[in-house]
Structure 1
Amino acid sequence: MNERTERDLQAVKDYLDASMAPDPVRAEKYIAPKFVCRFTGNRVFNTASGPTGFNAKRYRWVKKRIERYDVVPGDTETIIYSLGFLYGEWPDGTPFDDNRYVDRFVVRDGLILETDVWNDSAEWILEPSISRR
């Protein structure tokens, strides 16, 4: 990885760390002015507090167990995938783990321009027995 790509990857790591704290004010430091986050269910947010606020309604608490980052350097932007599992508690206090997620980030000059978020939560909410297998 070159210096630019390493800086972009560090921005994603710092953003995810702040988002999972949750500390949306700190997370804002890593996003570009015209940031767009397309969240599960095609919810669109333009601030770091958008996903944090949504997560506060969906989960009692949630964290990411990051398994790996896949980094795709480009001429001016870096595409970074964060892959792993969500764990935490549903609003009723029921614990969950091994909930797959993929986050895709587009990063330029150490600032996140956009991200897409996918996970198994909706499926697990529709059929709770899946999360207990």
Structure 2
Amino acid sequence: MTDDPVTEAKRIVEAYLERSMARDAEGARQYLAPDCEIIFTGGRAMTGPEDPPAFNAKRYAWVQKRFLRTDAVQDPETGAVHVWNTGHLYGEWPDGTPFDGNRYVDFFAVKDGLIRRTEVWNDSAEILLARAGLAEAPL
């Protein structure tokens, strides 16, 4: 633990994401406030750290995140630290086709050592539409 709230918030977020990717819901839960708001792709409200992997199990055979950056800034009004983790998803679609380079950005609000809110965005919906022949996607 560090005295710098921005550095500590980035550490908390990356530790949470590592536990989430390991499908360790209880390990991930230790980083979340009891009333944490989890908003997943498409505006889906989730109730706990077990929900995103359960949703992802329907969308991917398996998926992992490749972190590119973790940026943070402290909100002077609330004291919360706003953290953005960006990178690429890689893994396999349900049919076994591998993928890589699927962009994501995750937002977190961290205060008093706990994640209070997280929001998740990625290119998966666009890519899946393109694979179904329903839309054009950049990949």
TM-score by length of 1: 0.92
Report the equivalent of 2:128.
125
Report the equivalent of 1:23.
24
Which deviates the most, 69-78 or 83-92?
69-78
Question: As a proportion of its length, which structure holds more helix?
Answer: 1
**Residues 13-51 of structure 1: CA distance to partner in whole angstroms, max 9, x if unpaired?**
100001111211111010001011111111101211111
Runs of 4+ aligned structure 1 residues displaced above 6 Å come to: 129-132
Q: CA deviation at 1:74?
A: 2.2
CA RMSD, aligned part only?
1.9
Once the two structures are superposed, the pairs formed by residues 98-117 of structure 1 within 5 Å of their partners are 98-117=101-120
Q: 2:92 aligned with 1:89, yes or no?
A: yes
| 1:132/1:118 CA distance change after superposition, 3 Å | closer
Unaligned runs of 5+ residues in structure 1 are none
Unaligned runs of 5+ residues in structure 2 are none
Q: CA deviation at 1:105?
A: 0.3
Q: CA deviation at 1:60?
A: 0.8
Aligned length: 133
Once the two structures are superposed, the pairs formed by residues 37-76 of structure 1 within 5 Å of their partners are 37-75=38-76, 76=79
| 1:5/1:132 CA distance change after superposition, 3 Å | closer
Query: Quick check: which has more Rg, 1 or 2?
Result: 2
Aligned residues: percent identity? 47
| 1:132/1:102 CA distance change after superposition, 3 Å | closer
TM-score by length of 2: 0.89
